[in-house]
A and B are shown apart, each in its own frame.
Chain A
């Protein structure tokens, strides 16, 4: 069953993709990415059919083996259920183009009818995801894919955006990427649910895993457990302790255990009530992103009306101290004593 090439109503597109038509699903993912005219209607029609899938974020530094690990996971899931992969790579800040290369590790597994792979460019967003990812995950959920594996751009210390979108996050590390102090810094390590040390065939992999376990245990000792995320209830106190697993994605070792831990985390989310926090955090974050987007386009006009260009010049000429200049700009915009 394939969709005709012409324009299609959002209702029709929704029906087709829910009936398993891959072409319609692929087009819907493009609609939301390009913000096509009726994309909001499409999302609205699909919304009642969402909320079933487990969104699994997979993050980690470039070259740790995220794509290979994900293709192995998809292979296993694909044997019994439909599984989708959203794979994000960075957009060039210079050209606006992108080279999306994660699919190289996934073309075999994408031939299985149960596996849907989509590559996504960040299109100017920091944090390791594109804005469209949020909508695309919703569409894949409505199409009956579960789990949805979301691969962030090669990341580790600042790209924590996926923590908001995903129900479960997996941080993939590899041996030989920096000393013990790297593990002590902030980053995905402290907000991930499962930690994987990939390339377990390397001789120093066990030591890397031991260091990570040590760091995570330190967090618990100091009372700042790894899951005390933005002031929400502490996951560790509610019974989830981050497992640190060893995998060798190329050889396919350790994938069963990872799959089992992902399932266990899902069960724990429901049983502990942490699922509600996840939903709430996700909704608040997405609303924030969308409001910010609208806000920023208005902000520009408001600041220009308040004399933005002149103020930039006085600051560049070192005639004005920047903090005071910013405060005066805000006062002009809001017409009050806003301290910014």
Chain B
């Protein structure tokens, strides 16, 4: 990566202990030169937004497999807006049914990555979104 590394928050949102995907993404992005702050599991929207604020992250990647995304993800995005971070892109990963995706995008999610997405695809998308194509 050219220039200083981007700072990315990888967050496990809600009552969901399935964190292998989040850990694989966190490690994979680290290997692509990102600085990844990992929150650990069972985070509330307030905890995730507070971490995004204090860490001044360039991008927020939320992993959620519990099915609670319709409730929790808009809450996080609203908190980001309230704290002056409306410009921070939000990525969603995990199990997000096709039928829910339009609502997630309408709520402000920039991109949704489901099972089978490679680290490379994710990293390339992030670099393009943050304006640093390689």
Contacts and interface: CB of A to CB of B under 8 A. Distances in A.
Partners in one complex: yes
A110 B50 contact: yes
Interface stretch (B26-34, B102-110, B125-133): B26-34
A111 B37 contact: no
B30 A26 contact: no
Given A99-B38, A101-B38, A104-B40, A23 B84 contact: yes
A252 interface: no
Interface in A173-223: none
A108 B41 CA distance: 12
B36 A97 contact: yes
B5 A111 contact: no
Interface string B32-58: 111111111001001100110111100
B1 interface: yes
A295 to B, nearest CB: 22
Contact of A98 (B35, B47, B56): B35
Contact of A104 (B35, B36, B39, B54): B39
A99 B27 contact: yes
A95 B34 CA distance: 8
B72 interface: no
Contacts of A286: none
B53 A22 contact: yes
B66 interface: no
A100 B87 contact: no
Interface in A90-104: 91-92, 94-101, 103-104
Interface in B94-117: none
Contacts of B32: 95, 97
A110 B51 CA distance: 8
A122 B68 CA distance: 36
B19 to A, nearest CB: 10
Given A29-B56, A107-B47, A116-B54, A97 B33 contact: yes
Nearest to B81: A2
B64 to A, nearest CB: 16
B37 A103 contact: yes
A320 to B, nearest CB: 37
Interface in A229-288: none
A30 interface: yes
Interface string B55-87: 110000000000000000000000000111111
B5 A98 contact: yes
A36 B34 CA distance: 19
B33 A95 contact: yes
A118 B54 contact: yes
B40 A111 contact: no
A294 interface: no
Interface in A113-140: 116-119, 121, 123
A104 B83 CA distance: 22
A98 B35 CA distance: 5
Nearest to B41: A104
Contacts of B82: 2
A163 to B, nearest CB: 25
Interface in A1-34: 2-5, 22-23, 26-27, 29-30, 33-34
Given A95-B30, A116-B54, A117-B54, A100 B83 contact: no
Give 4 nearest A-B pairs by CB, closest first. Answer: A2-B84, A104-B40, A26-B56, A97-B30
24 contacts: A4-B84, A5-B84, A23-B53, A23-B85, A26-B55, A92-B31, A95-B32, A95-B33, A96-B5, A96-B33, A97-B29, A97-B32, A97-B36, A103-B39, A103-B40, A103-B55, A107-B51, A110-B47, A110-B50, A110-B51, A110-B54, A111-B47, A117-B54, A119-B55
Interface of B: 1, 4-5, 7, 26-27, 29-40, 43, 46-47, 50-51, 53-56, 82-87
Interface of A: 2-5, 22-23, 26-27, 29-30, 33-34, 91-92, 94-101, 103-105, 107-108, 110-111, 116-119, 121, 123
